[in-house]
Amino acid sequence: MDMSVAKAGRVIASPYARRLAGERSIALEALSGSGPAGRIVAADILSFVAPPTSSMVAAQNVAPCAIAATIGLENVYELLSQLCKAGGSFELVDLALRAAECARAEVFAGRANLHEGVALEIGLSKARRQRVFANATGMSLTQLHQNRVENGAGDEAEEPALLSLRIAEAQKFRMVAMPLLQGRAMRLAIDYGRVNAECTLFFDAVQIEEEDAVAFLVHFTAGIEAPLRLLV
C-alpha cells in the first residue's frame, strides 16, 4: 500500500516530533516534513522558526527614548493642604493627571496620527490596570477626582490614549528604563517624595519628535510647580 496515499489528509509525524511540537506550542500543520513521504521528524521541529506576530513587528518598530526632570512639589503640597482645609479630598495623582492632560492638549492637540487622553496606571504589578481620562481638561478638579475614585475598578488598557501615567512614592532605588505599555506612545513615570518628584518621560521616537517630548515635559513641570493654573 502507498503510505503517502493511505495517510493523505492528516499530518504524518514521529512520536518524538509530536512531543517536541507540543512542548514548543508549534502547530504541526505549519511544517513541511523532511522525512520519508513528508513525515515530520524531530529535526523539523528543532529548526522551525515561527513567523513574527503583529506584537513582535510592532515592538521592532518602536524606538524608545527617555528624558527626565526633577520637579519641586512644595507648591503642590501647599495647594492640596489649602484644598483639604476647604473641604476637598484631592490627592497628588489628581493634579498630576490634570497637568499631564493639559500638557498633552497643549503640545499634541490636533495631531490626527496620535491618540488623545491619558491612561492612569493602577497598581505597580505586571498585571496593572489602566483608567483612561480622555477629556480631563474639560473637567473641574472635583469632577476629575470623583471620576477617578468612583470609576476606578475596571480596566481600560484596550482604550486609546497617547500616554500612560505611573505615579508612586519614591523608594531608595528607582527605575531608569521602562517599557512603553501596549498602544501608548509615551509613559510618564513619577516617583514623588516630600520635597521633589523625579519624573522620567519614556517615548517612542518613531511617533514622537524629541522636541515635542521636551515641550510636553516642560508644560507638565510648569503645571506642577505652579499648580493654581490647573484649577482654571
What is the pLDDT at residue 219? 96
Predicted local confidence at residue 56, as pLDDT: 52
Residue 49 is predicted with a pLDDT of: 64
- Give me the pLDDT at residue 187, please: 95
Q: Of 24-28, 52-56, 104-108, 118-122, which range is least confident?
A: 52-56
Q: Which three cell numbers stand for residue 163?
A: 500616554
Tell me which CATH code domain 55-231 carries.
3.30.559.10
Locus of grid cell 503640545: 107
Name the CATH superfamily, with its identifier, for domain 3-51: E3-binding domain (4.10.320.10)
Q: How confident is the model at residue 7 (pLDDT cuts 50, 70, 90)?
A: very low
Name the H helices within the chain: 3-6, 15-23, 42-46, 54-60, 74-85, 92-108, 141-150, 210-225
- How confident is residue 3, by pLDDT bands cut at 50, 70 and 90? very low
pTM above 0.75, yes or no: no
Maximum CA extent, the chain: 91
Where do the domains of the chain lie? 3-51, 55-231
Residue bearing the bigger pLDDT, 213 or 157: 213
**Which residues on neighbouring strands pair with residue 198, listed in sequence order?**
70, 191
CA 174 from chain center: how many Å? 18
Report the Cα 134 to chain-centroid distance in Å.
Answer: 16
